[in-house]
């Protein structure tokens, strides 16, 4: 497969696929990006589908001493996923897990305040919700977002990403109503390898895209 040029191009290609699947005809559609990297992709999708853009804040739960290894994830609205295989293999006790979770919960609330400010969370009951990221590895963060989103009683809950390994896509299909993924390479390794240009997305960029989307679309 060819690599995506950048997140904006990946978003355009993902939007085209969603258009082909008829999502522009959904009367009550919300597009959510998982910050930070998922927001530029979600912005392109929201623009093409003429839908409002929001963020669903998710935080990985890093393993103590090996923070890059995620033992789980939490999301706004109470979504929580633990990788029992990692927890058991490393002998992590509930007290250790709770300490990491408290720290990440505080960070999640700060980012929720930063990105949303005084803007109320939208009502999603009976709506179609697209959850978008720039790619998925294990899918733990997306699982947490799905669990949180499901509690809002949407009509349809859809995951849309440019790239993810086949086993992650299969796992998410058991949770979401639909998973739209452009590329599913068997030899995956990391999301960034499937982009030519994959810089870190800043909070300022997220806020700018949210502001542009809100000024251009009033739900």
pLDDT score for 139: 92
Question: What 3 state SS string does 180-195 have?
Answer: EEEECCCCCCCHHHHE
User: Does pLDDT of 219 surpass 50?
Assistant: no
- Domain segments of the chain: what residues? 7-55+121-183+196-214, 60-115
pTM of structure: 0.92
Class of domain 7-55+121-183+196-214: alpha beta
Comparing 66-75, 136-145, 154-163, 168-177, the range with the smallest average pLDDT is 66-75
* E-assigned strand segments in 64-219: 66-75, 80-82, 128-132, 156-163, 178-183
Distance between alpha carbon 67 and the CA centroid of its chain, in Å?
20
For residue range 69-96, list pLDDT tens digits in order.
Answer: 889 999 988 889 998 888 998 899 999 9
């Amino acid at each position: 497969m060819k690599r995506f040029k950048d997140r904006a191009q990946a978003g355009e290609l993902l939007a085209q696929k969603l258009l082909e699947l008829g999502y522009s005809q959904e009367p009550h559609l919300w597009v959510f990006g998982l910050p930070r990297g998922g927001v530029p992709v979600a912005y392109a999708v929201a623009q093409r589908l003429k839908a409002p853009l929001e963020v669903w804040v998710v935080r990985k739960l890093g393993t103590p001493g090996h923070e890059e290894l995620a033992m789980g994830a939490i999301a706004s609205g109470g979504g929580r996923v633990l990788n029992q295989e990692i927890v058991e293999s490393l002998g992590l006790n509930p007290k250790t897990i709770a300490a990491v979770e408290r720290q990440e919960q505080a960070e999640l609330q700060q980012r929720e305040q930063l990105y949303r400010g005084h803007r109320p969370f939208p009502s999603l009951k009976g709506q179609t919700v697209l959850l978008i990221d720039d790619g998925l590895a294990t899918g733990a963060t997306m699982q947490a977002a799905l669990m949180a989103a499901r509690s809002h009683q949407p009509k349809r809950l859809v995951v849309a990403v440019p790239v993810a390994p086949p086993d992650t896509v299969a796992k998410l299909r058991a949770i979401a109503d639909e998973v739209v993924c452009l590329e599913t390479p068997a030899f995956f390794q990391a999301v960034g390898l499937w982009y030519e240009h994959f810089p870190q997305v800043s909070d300022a960029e997220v806020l700018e895209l949210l502001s542009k989307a809100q000024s251009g679309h009033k739900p």
